[in-house]
Amino acid sequence: MKKEESSSQRELTKLRLTFKMEKTVKKEWGSEEWIVNREYCGKILNLKKGFGCSYHFHKNKNETFFVLSGKMLLELEGKKKIMQTGDSQLVLPMQKHRFIGLTDTKIIEFSTHHEDSDSYRDPNILSGKVNLEHLK
C-alpha cells in the first residue's frame, strides 16, 4: 500500500522539478540539497531517523531552521527541544547545536552564506547513529 504524499511533500517535489539543485551533499545523517549559496544560503536537510549531526557552531553563520515534515530533537546550547512539522528555530553565531532525527525529517535551512571553514565541531559528539532509547 502506497503512503499518501502530503501537500508539503508535493510542493517540495515541484520545487525540485522547477529548480536545479546547486548540489547534493551526502552526510552520515542523511543529505543536504543546496538550493542557493550566495550572500544567503538555502538548503533542504534530509535527516534520517536515529541519526544526528555533529554538535557544532559557526562563528559567522546565522541560521533559521523550519521543519517541513517529521520530528526531531534539537540540542541548542545544552538544552533539548522537540521540533516537528511547522516549527522553526533561529540559531545565532557561536550557539552550539545539533539535530537528531526522531523520525525521517525534512528541514529547510535559511542562513547567511555557508563556508565549510566556519563549522567548528565538538570532537566528542560527531555525526552518526544515535541510540534513541537513551534520549527518553
List pLDDT tens digits, range 66-77: 999 999 999 999
Instruction: Assess if residue 17 is contained within a domain.
Output: no
CATH label of the domain that carries residue 87: 2.60.120.10
Could you tell me the pLDDT band of residue 1, with boundaries at 50, 70 and 90? Answer: very low
In which band, very low, low, confident or very high, does the pLDDT at 110 lie, cut at 50, 70 and 90? very high
Rounded Cα gap, residues 120 and 114, in angstroms: 13
Residue 88 lies in a domain: yes
Structural domain that includes position 131: 29-135
Q: Alpha-carbon dihedral of residues 19, 22, 24, 30, nearest 10 degrees? A: -70
Average pLDDT of the segment spanning 18-30? 85
State how many domains the chain has.
Answer: 1
Q: Which residues pair with 96 in a beta bridge?
A: none
In a domain, 8, yes or no: no
Question: Do the domain assignments include residue 82?
Answer: yes
Residue 9: inside a domain: no
